[in-house]
Amino acid sequence: DADVTQTPRNRITKTGKRIMLECSQTKGHDRMYWYRQDPGLGLRLIYYSFDVKDINKGEISDGYSVSRQAQAKFSLSLESAIPNQTALYFCATRRTGDSGELFFGEGSRLTVL
Amino acid sequence: GIQVEQSPPDLILQEGANSTLRCNFSDSVNNLQWFHQNPWGQLINLFYIPSGTKQNGRLSATTVATERYSLLYISSSQTTDSGVYFCAALFSGNTPLVFGKGTRLSVIA
């Protein structure tokens, strides 16, 4: 089993629907991240969390919200999905400190029609 | 501001050729990683290399922290090496890693 698990892996939805992407990890890391990748482009940070009570906005947080339900779980919500949120979404984790290596989940491909 | 720049942006190689990908960063780093995104979209950790040199099979990486760059070497390239290579740098323990825009590699048989 993967150390960083994302669900769903693929989702097609309609404009205006609420969508939740979930991420769970078994690595025992306290830091978790959500990234977005558009076709042919790099990774952009949506939100990140250093622990259960510490959540921070990234460079493109508008239209998204997050919840850190436990150290191992970090979910991303689109309250009212729109077509330009069609993208590949990645969850990532890292342990605290300067030397923690970042690990990614397998990605969630979201299509908003 | 803090920046991570990768070059070249695109690279096309014949199978069997060697290549060098470069990552420049604008300040001293605590952490430097290389990732490979395969054609199916998965992001795979290649190297965690804040300084020094590491090798893993046909791939090796070198980071010269004092000169603020890292290099990823791919020798005897194979079609399975195709994809996008990202470097990412951690400039401070309390900030997220900063990613470069990637180098898109296409290896042709």
- pLDDT tens for A48-105 read 999 999 999 999 999 999 999 999 999 999 999 999 999 999 999 998 877 789 999 9
Mean pLDDT of A19-47: 95
Q: Which residues are CB-contacts of A45 (< 8 A; sequence separation ≥ 6)?
A: A33, A34, A35, A58, A59, A60, B96
Mean pLDDT of B14-37: 96
Give one DSSP letter per residue of chain B, joined into a string.
---EEEE-SEEEEETT--EEEEEEESS--SEEEEEEE-TT--EEEEEE-SSEEEEETTEEEEEEGGGTEEEEEE-S--GGG-EEEEEEEESSTTSPPEEP--EEEEEE-
Q: Which of the four pLDDT bands, split at 50, 70 and 90, describes residue A1?
A: low
CA angle B5, A88, B93 (to 5 degrees): 50
Residues of B in contact with A109 (CB under 8 A): 41
Task: Please enumerate residues of B whose Cβ is less than 8 A from a Cβ of A.
Answer: 30-31, 33, 35, 41-43, 45, 48, 50, 86, 88, 90, 93-94, 96-97, 99-102
Q: pLDDT, tens digit, for every residue of B34-88?
A: 999 999 999 999 999 999 999 999 999 999 999 999 999 999 999 999 999 999 9
